[in-house]
Amino acid sequence: MHTQSAAQHDTPSAVEQAVVPPIQPRKPWRVRTVEALPDFRLRVRFMDGSEGTVALGAMIHSTGAGVFAALRDPSLFAQVRVEHGAVCWPGGLDLAPDAMHAQIRQIGEWVL
Strands (E), the chain: 31-37, 41-46, 51-55, 81-83, 86-89, 93-94, 109-111
Superfamily classification of domain 29-111: NE0471-like N-terminal domain (3.30.2020.10)
Structural domain boundaries in the chain = 29-111
Q: What pTM did the predictor assign?
A: 0.74
Instruction: Tell me the pLDDT tens digit for each residue of 27-56.
Output: 778 899 999 999 999 999 998 899 999 999
Instruction: Tell me the pLDDT tens digit for each residue of 56-105.
Output: 999 999 999 999 999 999 999 999 999 988 999 999 999 989 999 999 99
